[in-house]
Amino acid sequence: MNLDFTPEQEQFREKVRSWLLDNMPKEERVEGTDQAREYDLAWQKKLYEGGWAGINWPKEYGGQGFDTFQQLIFLMEYAKVNAPGDHYRFNGLNLAGPTIIACGSEEQKKQYLPPILKGEVIWCQGFSEPSAGSDLANLKCKAEIDGDELVVNGSKIWTSWARFADLQQLLVRTGAADSRHKGITWVINTMDNPGMEIRPIKDMSGGDDLHEVFYDNVRIPLKNVVGGIDNGWRVSMAQLAFERGTAFMPYAVRSSTLMEELIDVAKNTPLEDGRFAINDDHIAHELMKLRAETRALLAMTLMGVSRNERTGMPGPEGSILKLYSSEIHKKVLKLAMEILGPERFHNPDLGGDHWAWPRKFLYSFADTLGGGTSEIQRNIIGERVLGLPK
């Protein structure tokens, strides 16, 4: 098998790289502020105008419809030049958008897809509740039909970026309280809808991008329902397959780039005995092992992109990628902490953004929870990929 890129693909790589280098924002993004929202939207708008938005979206909805290799080349170059992360754009680009492409009506596609690619809206995801995380079918947030509207009462938790979002993909209970997955509806809600209250939650890395959201007689037009009343389980499974199958691909590529950065850190970080960290046998061995693992992850990502292109939708195999990518990311950052030492946590004199690696390390724990925990991914792989009993 020849895995080299063709001259045309190499040309494409060069084009991606030079466009990114010429157009990437120069200013800093300040997480958790309105500036971050404006930064993300402005970058999305620039990508759209440059012809780089929606690399795997169909052309008819404003996407680029790139082939497998073009997508991968784009993701690799994007990670290499350290272009801005998805951040607040994550839900629209990776979850709501692909779900509407797969399950929305033609009218919904026309209304909701272009603004995502053009950088006009931020989406959030209202799925989890205090007693419905891994067991999502236990959700209780209730919606009753009143004329041509749904009336929603209840609450959601862990809603990322809720206070910066315009729109929300919301899962509500439209069937009887015990109807589990048979009585759930997937609906589009607007975040300035009367009757909503949004409260930020502080996390251990210092951020407050997670929220509790409360709904008190919130009215949503029935035309915002995607996939039909009581059919939200099918819609949300399509979405979760996307979340686990494709949304984490850029993260897989990013882990590989992060690994190379860590090798540089090891080359430049002195140990107490005066040697650089890279010359310590244990550290060199761990770096080598993890570099091999991140390379294997890249190969798996390539297989994932190729499979999605063939089937049109990521299957349960996406869970392998999500599991492996989030666990490796955690390992790379744990090793970074070992190399840099506890000093990094409290010594601003170390120069640069001394808090950058510790912040990434602390946040890496979230990656093995959000989008379905590692245990749940293992269950899916066991049952639906390997065919093991429940």
Ligand X SMILES: Cc1cc2nc3c(=O)[nH]c(=O)nc-3n(C[C@H](O)[C@H](O)[C@H](O)COP(=O)(O)OP(=O)(O)OC[C@H]3O[C@@H](n4cnc5c(N)ncnc54)[C@H](O)[C@@H]3O)c2cc1C
Give me the active site residues, please. 243
Number of residues that bind ligand X (CB under 6 A): 19
Is 207 or 221 the residue whose CB approaches ligand X more closely?
Answer: 207
What part of residues 110-139 is at the interface with ligand X (CB under 6 A)? 124-128, 133-134
CB of 387 to ligand X, least distance (A): 18
Q: What are phi and psi of 109, to 5 degrees?
A: -60, -45
What part of residues 137-176 is at the interface with ligand X (CB under 6 A)? 158-160
Shortest CA distance to 175 belongs to which of 218, 140, 130? 140
CB of 149 to ligand X, least distance (A): 23
Q: What binding mask, one character per residue, do residues 65-104 give for ligand X by CB under 6 A, x or -?
A: ----------------------------------------
* Residue 16 structure tokens: 């991606």
Q: Out of 63, 232, 245, 372, name the contact with ligand X by CB under 6 A.
A: 372
Is 136 or 277 the residue whose CB approaches ligand X more closely?
Answer: 136
Q: Is 37 strand, coil or helix? A: helix
Does residue 214 contact residue 241 with C-beta atoms inside 8 Å? no
Is 128 or 231 the residue whose CB approaches ligand X more closely?
Answer: 128
Is 153 or 373 the residue whose CB approaches ligand X more closely?
Answer: 373
11 scored as a contact of ligand X (CB under 6 A): no
What part of residues 181-210 is at the interface with ligand X (CB under 6 A)? 210
Interatomic CA distance for residues 149 and 374, integer angstroms: 37
Does residue 139 contact residue 95 with C-beta atoms inside 8 Å? no
What does 249-298 look like in DSSP terms, one character per residue? HHHHHHHHHHHHHHHHHHHH-B-TTSSBGGGSHHHHHHHHHHHHHHHHHH
385 scored as a contact of ligand X (CB under 6 A): no
Q: What binding mask, one character per residue, do residues 341-370 give for ligand X by CB under 6 A, x or -?
A: -------------------------x--xx
Residues with Cβ within 8 Å of residue 147, at least 6 apart in sequence = none
Interatomic CA distance for residues 330 and 15, integer angstroms: 32
Burial zone of 8 (CB within 10 Å; 0-12 exposed, 13-18 middle, 19+ buried): exposed
Positive or negative, the CA dihedral 60, 37, 160, 155 is: negative
Residue showing the smallest CB distance to ligand X in the complex: 133
379 scored as a contact of ligand X (CB under 6 A): yes
CB of 163 to ligand X, least distance (A): 12
Is 171 or 339 the residue whose CB approaches ligand X more closely?
Answer: 171
User: Cα 294–2–259 angle (5° rounding)?
Assistant: 15
Q: Which residues bind ligand X (CB under 6 A)?
A: 124-128, 133-134, 158-160, 210, 366, 369-370, 372-373, 375-376, 379
